[in-house]
């Protein structure tokens, strides 16, 4: 009977850590380009196209010789190798993963390219000889990927089942978020530190408010009006109000619920998250376009699961900056508002679950001899967040050092090698992982779940709470903390 | 003394370690059964049981969202 020590195997057996490793590896390999060694410039990049423009090609001119198909194939092979190493380390079925990833990668990239067609994506249709366009920017490819994923997931279920070993939206989005840190870090030197700190503080305040209001309300409604037991009401409250599946699991664990409880809640969360993803970003872009950061933060607070929330933030970012050129300098900041609120939510889940566990074990169930470990907070801590802040600060420090003593007019030129590494290469990998996330979310979202026995009452509570007040409280909180904040960022971006 | 136990759920709670496997409807009963089993096996004194939930009991599609369910620490004094 061995004593229990630190379980180091988590470092290579858990997806959360793998998001960190994969994101950081790509980050450092891309960063070499800033120092004259272009290792990753072959990554495939899509641009808005029409009949006369080739839609894809390598991100860096240094790899122009690969051509469009060459860069696509190299990108596929390298990502396949890297993700398969992760899949093998995590004990997944490697053969199924390779097959699934291959299909998901190429289908996703095809959707991504379709979304870049000028009729859909062009923000200046006249540039492409078109009388009009949908002005959706290339990010329309995400929507195409989501829809195709949903069609396969709901109408070709046998085939979708074969792909599921590689349909890992959480792994993909967390890797993308690690890389997003770098993209935001490159923009940050032009923003005064007090504004950046203010941005983070607002995100933190917003989620604390949300936890205190949302959770208590949903729990009370589920208990008072729907007669749920504590075992069901607590994970449901967390699932609906905080952060979807991960919160439902964390809360289920905290109150020692039977695993069937978070499983049932999770299957609802996933379906509702897709519904939100298909509606909320478009609502935000239509009605909150003049408050871009409110729109972004709202995605983080209202849309459940990391994947769907980040995806919603990305769509809002693309729609607002694409349709309103005056907000173009905010590109990246809007999705970052969504990510920051979501990241704080993820971090806070561990603390919240610990508080619940203490209340449950010591005050509600009072099991003799049982105690709660503080280490639970670390077990639940989202490790990819470390990567997000690392890449952010590394790029911020490098960029700040480069522009130190350089006149503002010469910043662009001085930062060009770093921009190649971050904007062209890391950002392209980030977009690929985002697109894979959209496709995978579609693939694993099975709407027939709603017909499953026993889910009716839970679905009704979910619907009533989500559309009755969670969305609107989330909007109000986003407004309180982020209204007009874009003006500071716009001022900073203007030389 | 510290003892590591893996906890799973397959329609009922199952606690396993090298020395024993016990099953019960709820966690309170699991604790009782572990205490009785340890007593039968001759354990005495302060025993701290570290139960770590086996994530294999959670469907694989769900594990990507959160990879830890819970750990419990239960202390017994066996005379």
Weakly modelled stretches of chain B, pLDDT under 50: none
* B70 closest CA partner among A347, A373, A262: A373
Q: What is the DSSP letter of A411?
A: H
| Residue-number span of the structural domain to which B34 is assigned | 2-78
Q: Is B71 within 8 Å of A168 when comparing Cβ atoms?
A: no
Mark out chain B residues that contact chain A at CB-CB < 8 A: 2-4, 9, 17-19, 27-28, 31, 50, 52-53, 57-59, 61-76
Return d(Cα A341, Cα B2) in angstroms, integer.
Answer: 40
Q: Identify the helix (H) or strand (E) that includes residue B14.
A: strand B13-16
**Minimum distance, in Å, between the CA of residue B28 and any CA atom of chain A:** 7
Share of chain A above pLDDT 70, in %: 98
Measure the N-to-C terminal CA separation of chain B; round to a whole number of Å: 14
Q: How confident is residue A21, by pLDDT bands cut at 50, 70 and 90?
A: very high
Looking only at the bridges linking them, the beta strands covering B2-9 and B45-53 are parallel
Computed over every residue of chain A, the mean pLDDT equals 89
pLDDT at residue number A6 = 61
pLDDT at residue number A493 = 64
- The closest CB to that of A266, out of B17, B62, B72, belongs to B62
**Minimum distance, in Å, between the CA of residue A213 and any CA atom of chain B:** 23
pLDDT at A292 over 50: yes
pLDDT at A2 over 50: no
Return d(Cα B51, Cα B21) in angstroms, integer.
Answer: 13
Shortest CA distance from A380: residue in chain B: B68
Phi and psi at A178, nearest 5°, equal -60, -45
Share of chain A above pLDDT 90, in %: 52
**Minimum distance, in Å, between the CA of residue B72 and any CA atom of chain A:** 6
Region A230-251 average pLDDT: 87
Q: Is B9 within 8 Å of A259 when comparing Cβ atoms?
A: yes
pLDDT at residue number A1 = 39
* Centroid of chain to Cα A229: 32
* Centroid of chain to Cα A340: 10
Q: Is A169 within 8 Å of B53 when comparing Cβ atoms?
A: no
Q: Tens digit of pLDDT for each residue in A350-397?
A: 888 888 888 888 888 777 777 787 888 888 888 898 999 999 999 999
Return d(Cα A490, Cα A471) in angstroms, integer.
Answer: 27
Chain B residues touching A2 at Cβ < 8 A: 4
Q: Which of A73-77, A337-341, B38-42 has the highest mean pLDDT?
A: A73-77
**Minimum distance, in Å, between the CA of residue A312 and any CA atom of chain B:** 18
Q: How confident is residue A55, by pLDDT bands cut at 50, 70 and 90?
A: very high
* A190 closest CA partner among A431, A402, A427, A428: A402
Question: CATH number of the domain that B37 lies in?
Answer: 3.30.2390
pLDDT at A245 over 80: yes
Q: Is B52 within 8 Å of A4 when comparing Cβ atoms?
A: yes
Chain B residues touching A245 at Cβ < 8 A: 62, 65-66
Q: How confident is residue A346, by pLDDT bands cut at 50, 70 and 90?
A: confident
Return d(Cα A149, Cα A438) in angstroms, integer.
Answer: 8
Q: In a 3-state reduction of DSSP, which class is residue B42?
A: coil
Report whether A200 contacts A341 (CB < 8 A): no
pLDDT at A4 over 60: no
Please give the residue that has the higher pLDDT: either A478 or A98.
Answer: A98
Q: How confident is residue A495, by pLDDT bands cut at 50, 70 and 90?
A: very low
* A335 closest CA partner among A275, A279, A286, A281: A281
Return d(Cα A454, Cα A356) in angstroms, integer.
Answer: 26
pLDDT at A5 over 70: no
The CA dihedral of A362, A367, A373, A378, to the nearest 10 degrees, is: -80
Number of domains chain B contains: 1
Question: Best residue in B26, B45, B65 to probe A by mutation, most A CBs within 10 Å?
Answer: B65
- The radius of gyration of chain B's CA atoms, rounded to the nearest angstrom, is 13
Return d(Cα A483, Cα A291) in angstroms, integer.
Answer: 6
Q: Is B17 within 8 Å of A1 when comparing Cβ atoms?
A: yes
């Amino acid at each position: 009977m061995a004593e229990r020590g630190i379980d180091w195997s988590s470092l290579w057996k858990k997806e959360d850590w793998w998001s960190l490793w994969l994101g950081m590896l790509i980050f450092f390999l891309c960063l070499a380009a800033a120092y004259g060694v272009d290792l990753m410039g072959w990554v495939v990049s899509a641009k808005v196209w029409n009949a006369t423009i080739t839609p894809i090609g390598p991100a860096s001119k240094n790899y122009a010789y690969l051509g469009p198909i060459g860069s696509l194939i190299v990108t596929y092979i390298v990502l396949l190798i890297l993700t398969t190493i992760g899949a093998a380390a995590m004990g997944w079925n490697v053969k199924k993963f390779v097959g699934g990833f291959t299909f998901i990668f190429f289908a996703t990239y095809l959707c991504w390219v379709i979304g870049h067609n000028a009729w859909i994506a062009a923000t200046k249709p006249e540039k492409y000889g078109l009388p009009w366009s949908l002005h959706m920017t290339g990010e329309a490819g995400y929507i195409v990927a989501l829809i195709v994923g949903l069609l396969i997931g709901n109408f070709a279920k046998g085939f979708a089942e074969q792909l599921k070993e590689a349909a890992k939206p959480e792994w993909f989005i967390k890797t993308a978020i690690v890389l997003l840190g770098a993209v935001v870090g490159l923009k940050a030197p032009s923003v005064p530190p007090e504004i950046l700190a203010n941005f983070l503080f607002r995100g933190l305040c917003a989620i604390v408010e949300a936890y205190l209001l949302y959770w208590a309300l949903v729990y009370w409604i589920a208990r008072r009006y729907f007669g749920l037991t504590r075992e069901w009401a607590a994970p449901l409250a967390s699932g609906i109000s905080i952060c979807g599946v991960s919160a439902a699991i964390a809360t289920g664990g905290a109150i020692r619920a039977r695993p069937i409880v978070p499983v049932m809640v999770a299957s609802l969360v996933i379906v509702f998250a897709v519904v939100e993803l298909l509606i909320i970003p478009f609502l935000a872009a239509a009605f909150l376009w003049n408050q871009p950061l409110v729109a972004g933060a709202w995605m983080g607070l209202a849309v459940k699961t990391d994947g769907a929330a980040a995806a919603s933030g990305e769509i809002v970012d693309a729609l607002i900056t694409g349709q309103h050129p005056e907000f173009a300098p905010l590109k990246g900041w809007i999705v970052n508002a969504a990510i920051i609120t979501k990241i704080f939510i993820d971090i806070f889940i561990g603390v919240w679950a610990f508080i619940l566990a203490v209340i449950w074990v010591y005050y509600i169930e009072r099991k003799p001899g049982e105690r709660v470990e503080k280490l639970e907070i670390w077990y639940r801590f989202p490790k990819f967040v470390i990567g997000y802040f690392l890449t952010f600060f590394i790029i911020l420090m490098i960029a700040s050092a480069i522009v130190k003593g350089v006149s503002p007019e010469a910043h662009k030129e001085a930062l060009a090698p770093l921009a190649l590494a971050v904007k062209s290469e890391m950002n392209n990998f980030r977009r690929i992982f985002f697109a894979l996330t959209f496709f995978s979310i579609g693939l694993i979202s099975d709407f027939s779940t709603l017909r499953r026995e026993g889910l009716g009452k839970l679905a009704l509570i979910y619907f009533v709470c989500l559309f009755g007040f969670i969305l609107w409280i989330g909007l109000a909180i986003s407004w309180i903390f982020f209204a007009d904040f874009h003006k500071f960022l716009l001022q900073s971006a203007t030389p | 003394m510290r003892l590591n136990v893996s906890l799973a759920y397959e329609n009922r709670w199952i606690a396993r370690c090298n020395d024993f496997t016990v099953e019960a409807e709820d966690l309170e009963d699991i604790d009782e059964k572990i205490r009785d089993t340890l007593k039968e096996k001759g354990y005495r004194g302060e025993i701290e049981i570290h139960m770590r939930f086996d994530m294999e009991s959670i469907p694989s599609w769900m594990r990507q969202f959160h990879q830890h369910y819970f750990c419990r620490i239960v202390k017994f004094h066996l005379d």
